[in-house]
Amino acid sequence: MAIEIEMPKLTDTMEDGVLSAWLVDEGDEVSAGDVIAQVETDKATMDVEAFDDGVLLKKVIDEGDSVPIGQLIAVLGEEGEDISDVVAGADEAADGPESAPSDDETAPQEASESTDPTGDGQIRDREPEPVPAGTDEEGRRIKASPLARRLAQEHSIDLATMDGSGPEGRIVRRDVEARIEEGEAVPAEPESAPAPRPASEPAFEMPTSVVDEAGDLYDSENISQMRKTISRRLAQSKYTAPHFYLTVDVDMANAVEARKKINALTEKQDGPKISFNDFITKSCALALRQHPYVNASYLAEDGEIRKYNQVHVGIAVAIDEGLITPVIRNADRKGLAQISKETRELAGRARNRELQPEEFEGSTFTTSNLGMFGIEEFTAIINPPNAAILAIGEIRDEPVVEDGEVVPGKRMKITLSCDHRVVDGAVGAQFLQDVKRYLEDPMNMLL
């Protein structure tokens, strides 16, 4: 019996996936648990395993194809088994349901007359109407899927001359592709589109004179799965969650000295070096334990605010395709050395697109650090379903006043973006004050 393999849901935010590589060929025997393909999701490139034994009879999609969750990608079965019905069903699903014919397509063409508008009393015949697209010369509608119609139009194929292999003789994609392979159709030259009418007051003008050495006005690239998800989720967050922002300036002088001493000790013990980001992760985790509404989510569909009993801090990591947030789980219960080790391991795998879903899903709070790029202050968009995100600026050398005297100081601005549906202004401010307290006196983290 044929076994259908469908595009799996590999991450919590995945809606479709790109099959980046097939790892087996048609005719190969596979066993349950074997990795048969790799799929690019919105977060990482992940393996697709077979759940049954059998022979890979058909690869339904090609490498590089993007398909939604649940669509057929391959068929397993016994060698020589007939799977034409299964593949035909996949073609029908990919083509989409046939749209119902409109009144213009189903109504017979009737000869009619019109009165001359000049009023001279003469009756003139109306000009013959063109045959509607998708009908034969006698006006009968041709049954064909939308994809088949588009392919036929691109290759100047007359659908009226074809017989369909779909239900009730419907012409589907494979029928048109077969005609193209037979060489009976020559691709039509695309008709030139009419020149657009210029706007009376154009809002802007595209560059027409400045080009690069190759003579190109611009470079283009396909939108990756990760970029699609970033665009969708952050747009949803920005326009759904009412953001407000709170900023404090932190005295980092004690943290700088503490880091020097800790790293001197870890160097002797061949341990991991501690970064300022590790200090921030730990201080946020401890403060989240004290402020449950910041460590929470607003779930409108469930009609509840969910305050989490565990503290899982997501750390935004920049990669070529965009951003991903590896998660330090139970960060409030871990020491700086453990946080440092996990952060570096997860960031390295993130940049190589090797993270597993359990390593980047389920954060209860997120931090984003652009201080390393010289950014003094910025605001971040909340990573849903979190209720807040902390934006971290660089540590600045600047003069400060202490005991009436101007002395050298080290300062860092941090900005908390809050979802006002969950976090009120006073709650966010108190959370920031606790984070600041931990950073300005790191010994508090040990209490």
* 343 DSSP 8-state letter: H
The first and second tokens of residue 210, run together, are 């400045």
Full DSSP string of 11-71: STT-SEEEEEEE-S-TT-EE-TT-EEEEEE-SS-EEEEE-SS-EEEEEE-S-TT-EEETT-
Task: For residue 108, report the phi and psi dihedrals to the nearest 5 degrees.
Answer: -65, 150
Q: Which residue has the tokens 């560059």?
A: 207
**Which CA distances in Å does 91 have to 60, 166, 281?**
9, 9, 50
What CA–CA distance (Å, rounded) separates 308 from 364?
A: 7
- 92, 86 contact by CB (below 8 A): no
- The bridge status of strand 322-324 relative to strand 3-6 is unpaired
- Which one, of 29, 32, 34, lies nearest residue 79 by Cα? 29
In contact, 116 and 124? CB cutoff 8 Å:
yes
Pull the structure tokens for residue 388: 């807040």
Q: Which amino acid is at 432?
A: L
| Whole-angstrom distance, CA of residue 343 vs CA of residue 337 | 10
Residue for token digits 């990608």?
A: 73
Angle at 395 between CA 248 and CA 281, to 5 degrees: 70
The answer to whether the CB of 306 falls within 8 A of the CB of 296 is: yes
CB 321 within 8 A of CB 224: yes
Residue 136 structure tokens = 């034969």
The Cα 168–Cα 67 span in angstroms is 27
Element (H or E) spanning 174, and its range?
helix 173-181
- 3-class secondary structure, 135: strand
Active-site residue, 243 included: no
- Give catalytic residues, as residue numbers: 420
